[in-house]
Amino acid sequence: MRILFVCTGNICRSPTADGVARARVEALGLDWQIDSAGTGDWHAGESPDERATETAARRGYDLSPLRARAVERSDFDRFDHLIAMDASHERFLRRLAPGRAGGQVSRLMDWVETPAERDVPDPYYGHDDGFERVLDQIEAGVDGLIARLSQPSG
């Protein structure tokens, strides 16, 4: 299984999802490829936001090896699922998707059985507690994603 998480700049939400998914997949012994990207290249090559990194580290996730990059058309060939953090990212991916590849696109909260909200909000311009709330959502989304994709009917 190959999963790409996507947000705006690839410095807060998608690298957090990347780090959570990598840890969960490794703990379960799954042979999955996990990556993250942004809808733009504003932060290409940069490390995740310090607040995201610190929040994740408090829960045992290491985001330090991750570097921002932009989504590329070739990602639709390289990944089985492209997971958007919010509606704007989902629209971007569906417009970018070649041919029938739009079926690979979903929102992270679509993988949660009864999500309180469908979007993972951008914590960048808010307070530190926003990063905690986002991490709660991401953990639930990643757990739902792994549970559903790990089933034999996957």
Residue 117 per-residue DSSP state:
-
Q: How far apart are CA 133 and CA 112, in angstroms?
A: 15
Yes or no: say if 15 and 24 are a contact pair by the CB < 8 Å rule: no
> How far, in whole angstroms, is CA 103 from its chain's centroid?
17
Q: How far apart are CA 90 and CA 112, in angstroms?
A: 16
- The helix or strand, by DSSP H or E, that contains position 21, with its residue range, turns out to be helix 13-28
Q: Give catalytic status of residue 13 as yes or no.
A: yes
Catalytic one of 41, 80, 110, 122: 122
Q: Give catalytic status of residue 12 as yes or no.
A: no
Q: Mapping DSSP to helix (H, G, I), strand (E, B) and coil, where does residue 84 land?
A: strand
Yes or no: say if 69 and 6 are a contact pair by the CB < 8 Å rule: no
Residue type present at position 77: D
Q: Give catalytic status of residue 122 as yes or no.
A: yes
Alpha helix locations (H) across 97-153?
128-150
Catalytic positions, please? Answer: 7, 13, 122
